């Protein structure tokens, strides 16, 4: 149920994001979802791609600091209250969300939320018990 996400450290200077996307594009890697967390000095680019291992290798070859993180992708009905139901479940179990970001599926019309939890396994168990639909990696990478 876990999905592999790669994170890249980016100094806050012009052209870094362009460089990363260029490297990935040339390696024929497709970005499925992304989020950028930023501070005044640096940022962290989080990506879900169709081939995490290859993306990681090519980025490292180009001198970037990359690490892999396990996240959870949860399908949310695209209607009011959809996200709230998930968060209430997590709250009841006292599970912290480190960060999250969302995208909408190309077909099917559901939203997908990517979560990073402090206790991933506990979160998965809670979501399963709540009957939420989690996407596994292979499905997400090939959406």
Partner 1 sequence: MYFNEEFETLPRPALEALQLKRLQSTLERVYANVPFYKASFDKAGLKPSDITCLGDLKNIPFTTKQDMRDSYPYALFAAPMEEIVRIHASSGTTGKPTVVGYTKKDISIWSELMARSFVAAGAHKGDIIHNAYGYGLFTGGLGAHYGAEQLGASVIPISGGNTKRQIMIMQDFGSTVLTCTPSYSLFMAEEAQAEGVDFKKLKLRVGIFGAEPWSEEMRNEIESKLNLSAIDIYGLSEIMGPGVAIECIEAKRGLHIWEDHFIPEIIDPDTGALLPEGERGELVITTITKQGIPLIRYRTRDITSLTYEPCICGRTHARITRMSGRSDDMLIIRGVNVFPSQIEAVLVGIEGIEPHYMLIVDRQGTLDTLTVQVEVSEELFSDEIKVLQALAHRVEKEIKDMLGVTCTAKLVEPKTIQRSEGKAKRVIDNRKL
Per CB under 8 A, contacts with partner 1 among 56-75 are 63-67, 69
Site stretch for partner 1 (CB under 8 A), options 33-41, 81-89, 123-131, 132-140: 33-41
Taking the complex as a whole, how short is the minimal distance between the CB of residue 11 and partner 1, in angstroms? 5
Q: Does 120 bind partner 1 (CB under 8 A)?
A: no
Position 92 contacts partner 1 (CB under 8 A): no
Render the chain in DSSP notation, one character per residue: -EEEEEEEEEESSTTHHHHHHHHHHHTT--EEEEEEEE-SSEEEEEEEES-HHHHHHHHHHTT--EEEEEEEEEEE-SSTTHHHHHHHHHHHTTPPEEEEEEEE-SSS--EEEEEEESSHHHHHHHHHHTTPPEEPHHHHHT-
Q: Does 138 bind partner 1 (CB under 8 A)?
A: no
Token code pair at residue 137: 């990696």
CB nearer to partner 1: give 70 or 105: 70
**Interface with partner 1 includes 14 (CB under 8 A)?**
no
Q: Can residue 37 be called a binding residue for partner 1 (CB under 8 A)?
A: yes
61-28-46 Cα angle (round to 5) = 65
Residue 110 C-beta: closest distance to partner 1, Å:
25
With CA atoms as reference, report the closest residue to 50 among 25, 76, 30: 30
Query: Is 129 near partner 1 (CB under 8 A)?
Result: no
Q: Residues in the site for partner 1, rule: CB under 8 A?
A: 5, 7, 9-11, 16, 37, 39, 41-42, 44, 46, 63-67, 69, 98-99, 116
């Amino acid at each position: 149920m876990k999905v592999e996400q790669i994170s890249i450290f980016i100094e806050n200077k012009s052209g870094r994001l362009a460089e990363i996307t260029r490297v990935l594009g040339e390696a024929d890697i497709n970005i499925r979802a992304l989020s950028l967390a930023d501070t005044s000095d640096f940022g962290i680019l989080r990506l879900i791609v169709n081939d995490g291992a290859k993306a990681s290798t090519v980025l490292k070859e180009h001198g970037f600091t990359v690490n892999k993180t396990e996240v959870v992708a949860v399908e949310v009905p695209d209607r009011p209250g959809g996200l709230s139901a998930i968060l209430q479940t997590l709250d009841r179990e006292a599970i912290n969300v480190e960060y999250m970001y969302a995208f909408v599926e190309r077909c099917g019309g559901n939203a997908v939320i990517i979560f990073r939890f402090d206790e991933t396994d506990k979160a998965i168990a809670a979501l399963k018990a709540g009957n939420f639909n989690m996407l596994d990696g292979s499905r997400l990478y090939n959406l």
